[in-house]
A and B are shown apart, each in its own frame.
Chain A
Amino acid sequence: MHRQKATHRSLEHAEPTLVSDTNEIDIDTPDAPLALPLDAWHRARGARMVPFAGYEMPIQYEGIMAEHLWTRESAGLFDVSHMGQLILSGDGLDAALEQLVPGDIAALAEGKQRYSLLLAEDGGILDDLMITRAPMGLYVVVNGAVKWDDIAHLREFLPDEITIFHMEDRALLALQGPKAVDALKRIVPGVDTLFFMEAGSFFWGLEPLWISRSGYTGEDGFEISIPADFAAEFADLLCKEPEVKPIGLGARDSLRLEAGLPLYGHDLDPATDPIEGDLSFAISKRRRTEGGFPGSDRILKALAHGAARKRVGLSVEGKMPVREGALLFAGADVVGEVTSGGFAPTVNAPIAMGYVAAAHAAPGTKLEAEVRGKRLPVTVMALPLVPHRYHRKGAAQ
């Protein structure tokens, strides 16, 4: 047994980093998975390590279910150092970057963070990313699996005056959950003053930290950029707090699925535009009027008239998980496909997300998913399936 079913791509079988053909920057694309700064730290804590995005990553420690539920009720520490941390700087940066993403970068004030999309010429999504105004420029976090392609794309399409600094000497930790703020503020006083999608510079002793109030679980929490040499010591300190346990990639995936957050390469890809991807919030108001981003004609048309298909949530009847690749049927007709699916520990049932034709995308629509030749009843649901609990400015606390 244990042959993973070929039709079910899982985290353990993620494709390695794609090779890029650019020679403008030093690209060291690995064949064998590389070790991240916290590799030994994970192993010492009993993590099961698997290759992901070109690195050896911890998939779980005590078990995905327990880790997932712990994050939802307390605080989980995730190592996401595989992601690319970039600093963009130079004259004319905002206008230049706006040629590549649909967000209002010019309006981004210092310490404010925005979710955005790197778009191909035809409006297809090359990556989703976080952009923050930092004192030294724009701090950008991109997905690990495509970071080399992103850097090559940015280098190709940004003018020479713009400097791209890839901070390979920094680790990235995420502390997520309703008690994350309690634990982190004991170690880094002042982080509780941040609201959701805000960021700032902090110090831990003499070490500079860049901390944002954001994450990928649907919970309140923080993402902490730290010099790699100090990451293990900092992670140790966090895990000594009673609220905090280390959490693996497995629970990260089930948490983000419940939170309705797309995973690049699965729920988003170059054949998908932002409107289909249910990401129209990433098209900033000014950009809707002015356009001028890649694929803006197609995207603004879809924004006005609706896309032919849409990313939706799915609740699944029964206990059998419906996973990536499962086709969705309305009667005899194929009307969509599941792009992420699995068991949702908070819901205690299988859930999924996928793309369905616009006529079948309304919440409440009954469809069937095909799994191993059987048809399972599923219902289209609004995303997220588990409500977000962000610490938003101006919201009732």
Chain B
Amino acid sequence: MTRYFTDEHEWIDVDGSSATVGITDYAQGQLGDIVFVETPEAGKSLSKGGDAAVVESVKAASDVYAPVSGTVTEGNPALADDPALVNSDPEGKGWFFKLTLSDPTELDGLMDTDAYKAFVAGL
């Protein structure tokens, strides 16, 4: 399994053609207390850069974009009852959705862990 990162502060774990998407620890820190997450339903087709999910903190709603194209297989059901998982474990139990990749070459331009760390350090 390989983990990629986007400059929109999302992470993507890729295992073959399956991927799991969430937001990074840096992102949750910027957003503050998460009170609601709207995840996409299974079967929904996402295109890279399009709206995929909405994450709401106490003060505002923010869009989460699809980092890659594909078909959603599952939204994280645990976030309905406990959206604060995104704060407490953003890169683990606080994942947003899983999808089947439709174009794995889209992963080519994404960052690895070291590159993302350097990216965040420069912000």
Contacts and interface: CB of A to CB of B under 8 A. Distances in A.
Contact of B58 (A8, A343, A372): A343
Contacts, number: 78
Given A1-B65, A64-B58, A343 B35 contact: yes
Nearest to B57: A64
A63 interface: yes
Given A343-B36, A343-B56, A323 B63 contact: no
A12 B62 contact: no
Interface in B23-65: 23, 27, 30-33, 35-36, 38, 54-65
A397 interface: no
B35 A1 contact: no
B58 A2 contact: no
Contact of A319 (B59, B63, B64, B83): B83
A59 B59 contact: yes
Contacts of B31: 2
Contacts of B56: 320-321, 343
A45 interface: no
B97 to A, nearest CB: 13
Contact of A4 (B32, B61, B64, B80): B61
Contacts of B83: 319
B79 to A, nearest CB: 10
Contacts of B3: none
Given A64-B33, A65-B33, A10 B58 contact: no
Q: How big is chain A's contact interface, by range?
A: 20 to 34
A48 B12 CA distance: 28
Interface in B55-112: 55-65, 80, 83
A305 interface: no
Given A1-B10, A10-B59, A343-B56, A60 B64 contact: no
B8 interface: yes
Given A1-B8, A343-B36, A372-B38, A250 B62 contact: no
A68 B57 CA distance: 14
Contacts of A8: 60-61
A319 B80 contact: yes
21 contacts: A1-B8, A1-B62, A2-B31, A2-B63, A3-B62, A5-B60, A5-B61, A10-B60, A63-B33, A64-B59, A65-B32, A65-B58, A253-B59, A319-B80, A321-B36, A321-B61, A323-B60, A323-B61, A342-B58, A350-B36, A372-B54
Given A64-B32, A68-B58, 4 more contacts: A3-B62, A8-B61, A319-B83, A372-B38
